[in-house]
Amino acid sequence: MEFMKPPPIRRLTGSETVAPSHDRQPVAAPPNGHGAANGNGAATAFVGAQRRRVAASSLAIDRMQVEELSVAYGRKLAVDSVSLTIRQGEVLALIGPSGCGKTTLLRSLNRLTELNQDVTLKGRITLDEADIAKLDPTALRRRVTMVFQQPNPFPMSVFDNIAYVLREQAARRPKRGALRGAVRDALSRAGLLDELPDLDHPALKLSGGQQQRLCIARALAANPEVLLLDEPCSALDPQSTQVIEDLIVKLREDVAVVIVTHNLQQAYRVADCAGFMYLGELVEYGGATQLFRAPRQQRTKEYVRGEFG
């Protein structure tokens, strides 16, 4: 892994304004001295950590399609005419400064925005070519599950956390023995099985990283087609973050993964496809390597270089 260079000393020129530094995540290391210098001396290339794995998206299957989606809370427009595709076999990263609407976009993918009273939607989202607005929200959320920023395992044992999902979805109440296999399977997919002393361990006594992996295991137990992750590692230490990123990359063959993150390094590490959002608009959308290394839009360039956000 290449070392991250320290951020450059900001120099105010006439056209630039100093943006407040982001107080939640380390700012992505802007490049300095690498790559060809262009006219005004600032570098153009994004240098980040080594990518965990890159696969071409040629055999990815389209699962969800977002068509001209606009979401407004009351009068405030949170998402403005966004269109993108979510494919199985790919990890899609939504990046952007805070308040740009990426969480709202994520939550509208499984209709969690409906929990808010005064929300209005325009546009269309389809899952396997069916308009999700016409599906039953509960049925939709079984196929498109979500993991939240703060780990929120239920106040039960680890076994019960996962068995809860399995029991609720099964046609008839399955016996505990029958569930054991499925629970262990979900836990091993999340890489948690070996770390647990026993399955009856209270879930709230796990460490933060383990709790978040439990939440991912729980989401996987629902057998979803799309997995939504809302800044899953922002509350975790680097060790747990690494484990979860490996997990995400492993998962993408079975489920389509959409991850919202503040951390540009993380996005570069795990994403196949990336979308940069700013003030509700999808400024740029494309392959991850291209977006980070050779962004087409000026705003994207500035964000990726760490000039704001």
Partner 1 sequence: MDEDDLLEAEATTDSDRRAELMLGALVCLVVALLLGMFAFVIYQAWPSFSHNGLSWFGGGGNVDSEIQAMFNSGASLARPVYAFHGWPLIWGSILLVGGAVTIAFVCSLFVAVFVVEFAPDPLRRVLEPVIRLLASVPSVIYGLVGVFVLVPFIGNHVISSGSKASVSGIITLNGYSLLAGVLILTVMIAPVMVAVFSDGLRAVPKGWIEASLGLGINKWRTVWKIGVRAARPTLIAGTVLATARALGEAVMVGMVCGVVSFAPNPVDGWIFFVEPTRPLAATIIAFIDDLSSPPMRHTLYAIAAVLLLSAALLSFGGWAAKQPMKRYGLRT
Partner 2 sequence: MSAIELPVPGPAPGARIRPPESPPWRLRDRLGLGLAWLLGLLFCAVAVAIVLYFLVQGIKYVRPELFVTNPSVNASTSVATGGFLDPLLGTLLVTALAMSIALPVGIAVAVWLSEYGRPAALARIAESSIEMIAGTPSIVLALFGVLLFESPALGFLSRMSGGVVYGRSFFAGAAMLSLVGLPLVVTNVRAGLQAIPNHVREASYALGKTKIATTRRVLLPAARPSVLTGAMLGAGRVIGDTAIIVVLLGGTLTFNSAGSVPLLSTLQGTGATLTYYVFYNAPTGEGNQPGKAYAAAFVLLAIVLALNVGVDVATRRSRRLRWSS
Contact footprint for partner 1 (CB under 8 A): 110, 112, 115, 138-143, 145-148, 150, 152-157, 164-165, 168-169, 202-205, 215, 218-219, 222, 224
The strand pair at 91-95 and 256-260 is best described as parallel
Q: Which does residue 250 touch among partner 1, partner 2, none (CB within 5 to 8 A, set by kind)?
A: none
Strand, coil or helix: what is 291? helix
CA distance 124 to 111: 12
Q: 155 burial class (0-12, 13-18, 19+ CB within 10 angstroms)?
A: exposed
CB closer to partner 1 out of 79 and 215: 215
Q: In this chain, which of 16, 68, 114, 128 binds partner 2, going by CB under 8 A?
A: 128
CB closer to partner 1 out of 16 and 114: 114
The nearest distance, CB 236 to partner 1, in angstroms, is 15
The nearest distance, CB 290 to partner 1, in angstroms, is 32
Q: Which does residue 115 touch among partner 1, partner 2, none (CB within 5 to 8 A, set by kind)?
A: partner 1
CB closer to partner 1 out of 77 and 219: 219
For residue 242, state whether it binds partner 2 (rule: CB under 8 A).
Answer: no
CA distance 211 to 47: 31
CB closer to partner 1 out of 148 and 308: 148
Positive or negative torsion for Cα 226, 104, 263, 162: negative
DSSP class per residue in 99-139: TSSHHHHHHHHTTGGGGSTTEEEEEEEEETTEEGGGS-HHH
CA distance 130 to 111: 14
Q: Which does residue 205 touch among partner 1, partner 2, none (CB within 5 to 8 A, set by kind)?
A: partner 1
Task: Measure CA 141 to chain center.
Answer: 16
The nearest distance, CB 88 to partner 2, in angstroms, is 6
For residue 115, state whether it binds partner 2 (rule: CB under 8 A).
Answer: no
Applying CB under 8 A, the span of 112-120, 167-175, 193-201, 211-219 interacting with partner 2 comes to: 167-175
CA distance 208 to 232: 11
238: phi then psi, degrees, rounded to nearest 5: -60, -35
Positive or negative torsion for Cα 195, 199, 202, 204: positive
Applying CB under 8 A, the span of 50-58, 96-104, 203-211, 258-266 interacting with partner 2 comes to: 50-58
Q: In this chain, which of 9, 138, 155, 197 binds partner 2, going by CB under 8 A?
A: 138
CA distance 35 to 90: 28
Q: In this chain, which of 13, 38, 50, 117 binds partner 2, going by CB under 8 A?
A: 50
Tell me which residues touch partner 2 (CB under 8 A).
Answer: 50-51, 53-63, 88-89, 128, 136, 138-139, 142, 168-172, 223, 225, 253-254, 289
